[in-house]
Amino acid sequence: MTTTSTQNGRLQGKTAVITGASTGLGFESARQFLAQGARVIITGQNKARLDAAAKQLGSGVIPVLADVLKLPDLDALAQRTKAEFDKLDILFANAGLGTFAPFEAVDEASFDLQFNTNVRGLFFTVQKLAPLLKPGSSVILNASAVSGKGGPSASIYFATKAAVRSFARTFGAELAPRGIRVNALSPGFVPTQFLGRAGLDEQGAAGLAEQVTKSAPLGRAGRPEEIAAAAVFLASDDSTYMTAADLLVDGGWASV
């Protein structure tokens, strides 16, 4: 699918960076940002996936190979963003991962990978790109509906997302004097490639889906386009009186 900008989109003329956008929610968000008139830099750590995503997204997108675990990559991302856009209107810190195991089975490598990606990587993504953000710009942090919940076999992942929710508050307070808004976007259960990378087999993913959809008032999983539409809202001028907030897009799962 090739995406072209609309003439009067909600993000017309804006510049955006979306990390972890070669697949899943990041990719769909990039597609919708482009359709709404933005110019978008997408990042990923796998060149083949990133190039394929850029080809599918079409004109207006710039792929940048970058791993949020590596600070030199984030420095290079900031330099490339300045060279392409000079200033930045939207930063969607979306890159993240999770693995699921009983806490007795969690090893040091799994613990460190999740915290280094979801917490450290997100923190330094925002820190490195913050100097480019214009007054009135929007930072979106991909948190999760699990940030205020508890559950078996997900202690590390849930904790990382609670930290991301906290960052939305602290970054929101710290960047407000510059006119920059920071909000968390918290998806519920949305089937994407994330589940396979989380170590869930088909049976495990089906079990998780059943558990969540039974307890969510809307009684179904979410769709990537629904999460991306919420990202467009937070990125746009429609949300100019929102900061330090957590936008739950989870079918009611975390609230009921």
- Residue 46 CA to residue 36 CA, distance in Å, equals 26
* Angstrom distance (rounded) from CA 158 to CA 142: 13
Which pair of tokens denotes residue 100? Answer: 């699921």
Between the two ends of the chain, the Cα-to-Cα distance in Å is 38
CA angle 171, 119, 72 (to 5 degrees): 95
Q: What residues have CB less than 8 Å from 18, skipping those under 6 apart?
A: 26, 29, 30, 33, 40, 41, 42, 43, 92, 94
Marked catalytic residue, from 70, 82, 157, 214: 157
Task: Considering the candidates 55, 161, 214, 241, report the single residue annotated as catalytic.
Answer: 161
Annotated catalytic residue 157: yes
- Residue 2: left if φ>0, alpha if ψ -120 to 50, beta else—which one? beta
User: Which structure tokens are listed for 249?
Assistant: 């897009």
**Active-site residue, 47 included:** no
The rounded distance, in Å, linking the Cα atoms of 78 and 86 is 10
> Annotated active-site positions, please?
157, 161
